[in-house]
């Protein structure tokens, strides 16, 4: 009860690359243990928004942001916040599965722990995360095999397991299924439903049906502007903004 | 007006669905007009033709149903497109029932022709005229996405109910005055009842139009209140 209802709160976020402002003041709340989907055409700022949430955006030379970003009601940009620790709490899964090619399946999962110098052989963590990522049954007999031998869908779930190993609270996913076949996609989507019991998830997707299937809330970005955000059911049955309506019905001008 | 769909085939499929619904509405409107004409002019031939034309309406219903299912499966429609197709799926059921009611009126016409006339049936004609008008306005509201017009249809329904009640009472009086009129008066009473029901289906269509345009369901406000308390 005393946990804040909103895991993340964004107020008036602006973001830029050099002189080019690419997000023009976005405000939005993300309830704890929910899935937010971000939709919008290419270049509208979805990935940038995501990367602001774990302060990866500022790692690009010349890039910056302003506005308020709260995680558990605490300012992400406060001087006391260690960005590295923040990125542990707010994990990220990318579009292309990117397992470490020279490492085994097990070592891929525990890579984050070893980077953070957590001692031990991590066998328990590896099993727990692979189970959570719905991959355990498929790989339990070949944990020492190279990760590159897995299929694309398995590699993506491996990357999700790797992100889970450092016990994050928020998972950011940037088009996590766009390189996957329909079966692998369904597995990742099913996994998202599972994961939201424990984590707050923000997923960027080009696939509007996917947004409709996996998310509780949807945000629509257009040309760097957050046009509308709200319950997914509302966005897809009766959006408030004409531009959202045109986008979800496939009227792209 | 919002821009059209980037996928022109999809745009055409939606337009086609709209046109088919209108064509079906037009058929039903004509069926009702003929059925009532058959009663007024005591024309059993015309009444039989109405009965035969019912298969056209039924065929249109099946075609429209198929088109909606295809669109849902292949296009994953959203927002106003989704509401339009959901509306089409419901309206088609009402239109088909209205066609059946027109046939029922035609059957009464055939029955009434078996015996001498009970005299002019002005009220029944008025009721039929109102029912036709309701259908026309409901369909216009649907095509134009006109919530005001849809609301007018809903409000007008009370007049049809009142006129039906008047016919009902008049026919009861006729029966009490003359027991030989019972069969014919009953037939006219039924015909009036069918017309009144026809009007109710127009109200259904109008309610769906409000949903389609606004995205809010205006049906059964009382059951909604119960649910929320
Ligand atoms: N590293 C970068 N340097 C300069 N501009 C960038 C960089 N990454 C993205 N942009 C620009 O920022 C805008 C938003 O990009 P992005 O957030 O990647 O959009 P989306 O994920 O919605 O496709 C685009 O105009 C893009 O060109
Ligand atoms: Mg992107």
**Domain hosting residue B21, numbered range:** 8-217
pLDDT tier for residue B107 given thresholds of 50, 70 and 90: very high
Residue B28 pLDDT level (bands cut at 50, 70, 90)? very high
Question: What is the predicted pLDDT for the residue at A3?
Answer: 55
Question: Number of structural domains, chain B?
Answer: 1
Q: Is the pLDDT of residue A71 over 70?
A: yes
Between CA B93 and CA B87 the distance in angstroms is 10
Three-class SS state of A72? coil
Averaged over B215-228, what is the pLDDT?
Answer: 66
Tokens of B120: 């002019």
pLDDT at B224: 57
Average pLDDT estimate for A131-143: 93
Give residue ranges with CB within 6 A of ligand 1: A 17, 22, 40, 42-48, 60
Residue B94 in any domain: the answer is yes
Written as one string, the DSSP assignment of A182-209 is HHHHHHHHHHHHHHTTT-EEEEE-S-HH
- Ligand lying closest to the C-alpha of residue A39: 1
pLDDT of A18 higher than 60: yes
Could you give the CA distance from residue A157 to residue A134 in angstroms, rounded to a whole number?
A: 7
| Angle of the B147-177 helix axis to the B122-144 helix axis, nearest 10 | 160
Count of Cβ atoms closer than 10 Å to residue B159 Cβ: 14
* Residue B76 belongs to domain with CATH number: 1.20.58.220
Which residue among A20, A38, A175 has the greatest number of ligand 1 atoms within 8 angstroms of its CB, and so is best to mutate? A20
Any domain includes B178: yes
Residue B225 lies in a domain: no
Q: CA nearest B107: which of B165, B37, B39, B58?
A: B39
**Is B2 within the bounds of a domain?**
no
Q: What is the mean pLDDT of chain B?
A: 93
Least confident of A141-150, B164-173, B215-224: B215-224
Q: Is the pLDDT of residue B19 over 70?
A: yes
Domain assignment present for B227: no
Residue B210 covered by a domain: yes
Residue nearest to atom 12 of ligand 1 (CA): A22
Of the candidates B109, B208, B202, B117, the one whose C-alpha atom is nearest the C-alpha of residue B160 is B202
Assigned token pair, A235 = 């966005």
pLDDT over 50 (residue B145):
yes
Measured distance CA(B161)–CA(B164) in Å, rounded? 5
Give the pLDDT confidence score for residue B219 in this predicted structure: 77
pLDDT in tens, B37-76: 999 999 999 999 999 999 999 999 999 999 999 999 999 9
Packed helices A123-132 and A152-165: angle between N→C axes, nearest 10 degrees: 120
Three-state DSSP at A54 gives: coil
pLDDT of residue B225: 54
- Asked if A249's CB is within 8 angstroms of B81's CB, the reply is yes
Which tops the pLDDT comparison, A154 or A114? A154
Contact call for residues B165 and B195 (beta carbons, < 8 A): no
**Interface residue of A210, A212, A250 to substitute, partner B, most B CBs within 10 Å:** A250
> Which DSSP string do the residues of chain B spell out, in sequence order?
-PPPPSSHHHHHHHHHHHHHHHHHHHHHHHHHHHHHHHHHTT-HHHHHHHHHHHHHHHHHHHHHHHHHHHHHHHH---HHHHHHHHHHHHHHHHHHHHHHHHHHHHHHHHHHTTS---S--HHHHHHHHHHHHHHHHHHHHHHHT-HHHHHHHHHHHHHHHHHHHHHHHHHHHHHHH-GGGHHHHHHHHHHHHHHHHHHHHHHHHHHHHHHHHHS---S-HHHHHHHH-
Q: pLDDT exceeding 70 applies to what percent of chain B?
A: 95
A238 pLDDT above the threshold of 60? yes
Q: What is the mean pLDDT of residues A225-251?
A: 96
- DSSP-H helix ranges across chain A: 46-53, 83-89, 105-115, 123-132, 136-139, 152-165, 182-195, 208-214, 232-237, 242-248
Asked if B118 has any chain A CB less than 8 Å from its own CB, the reply is no
- Residue B147 domain flag: yes
Residue B67 lies in a domain: yes
Express each pLDDT in A215-232 by its tens digit.
999 999 999 999 999 999
- First CA to last CA distance, chain A: 46
pLDDT of the residue at B1: 47
CB contacts, 8 Å: B80 with chain A: 245, 249
Taking CA atoms, B89 is separated from B82, B123, B144, B159, in Å, by 11, 33, 18, 28
The pLDDT of residue B2 is above 70: no
For chain A, which residues lie within 8 Å of any Cβ of chain B, measuring from their own Cβ? 208-209, 212, 236-239, 242, 244-246, 248-253
């Amino acid at each position: 009860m005393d946990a804040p209802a909103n895991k993340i709160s964004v107020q008036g976020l602006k973001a830029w690359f050099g002189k080019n402002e690419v997000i023009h003041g976005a405000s939005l709340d993300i309830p704890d243990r929910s899935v937010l989907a971000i939709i919008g055409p290419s270049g509208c700022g979805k990935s940038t928004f995501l990367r602001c949430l774990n302060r990866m955006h500022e790692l690009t030379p010349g890039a910056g942001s302003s506005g308020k970003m709260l995680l558990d009601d605490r300012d992400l940009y406060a001087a006391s916040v260690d960005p590295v620790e923040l990125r542990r709490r707010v994990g990220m899964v990318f579009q292309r599965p990117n397992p470490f090619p020279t490492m085994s399946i097990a070592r891929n999962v525990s890579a984050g722990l070893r980077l953070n110098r957590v001692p031990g052989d991590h066998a328990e963590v590896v099993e727990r995360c692979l189970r959570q990522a719905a991959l355990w049954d498929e790989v339990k007999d070949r944990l020492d095999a190279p990760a590159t031998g897995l299929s694309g869908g398995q590699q993506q779930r491996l990357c999700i397991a790797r992100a889970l190993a450092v016990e994050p609270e928020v998972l950011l996913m940037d088009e996590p299924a766009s390189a996957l076949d329909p079966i692998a996609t369904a597995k990742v989507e099913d996994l998202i439903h599972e994961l939201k019991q424990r984590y707050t998830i923000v997923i960027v997707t080009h696939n509007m049906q996917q947004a409709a299937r996996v998310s509780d809330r949807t945000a629509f970005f257009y040309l760097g502007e957050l046009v509308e955000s709200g319950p997914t059911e509302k966005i897809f049955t009766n959006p408030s903004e004409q531009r959202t309506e045109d986008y979800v019905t496939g009227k792209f001008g | 007006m919002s821009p059209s769909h980037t996928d022109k085939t999809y745009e055409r499929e939606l337009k086609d669905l709209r046109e088919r619904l209108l064509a079906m509405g037009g058929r039903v409107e004509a069926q009702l007009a003929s059925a009532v004409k058959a009663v007024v002019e005591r024309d059993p031939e015309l009444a039989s033709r109405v009965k035969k034309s019912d298969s056209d309406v039924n065929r249109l219903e099946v075609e429209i149903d198929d088109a909606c299912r295809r669109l849902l499966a292949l296009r994953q429609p959203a927002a106003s497109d989704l509401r339009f197709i959901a509306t089409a799926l419901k309206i088609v059921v009402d239109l088909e029932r209205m066609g059946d009611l027109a046939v029922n009126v035609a059957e009464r016409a055939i029955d009434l022709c078996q015996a001498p006339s009970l005299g002019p049936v002005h009220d029944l004609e008025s009721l039929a005229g109102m029912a036709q008008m309701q259908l026309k306005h409901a369909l216009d509201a649907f095509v134009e996405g006109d919530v005001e017009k849809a609301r007018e249809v809903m409000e007008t329904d009370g007049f049809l109910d009142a006129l039906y009640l008047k016919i009902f009472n008049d026919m009861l009086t006729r029966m009490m005055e003359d027991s030989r009129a019972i069969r014919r008066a009953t037939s006219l009473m039924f015909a009036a009842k069918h017309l009144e029901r026809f009007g109710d289906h127009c109200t259904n269509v109008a309610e769906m139009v409000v949903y389609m345009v606004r995205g809010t369901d205006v049906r059964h406000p009382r059951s909604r209140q119960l649910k929320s308390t």
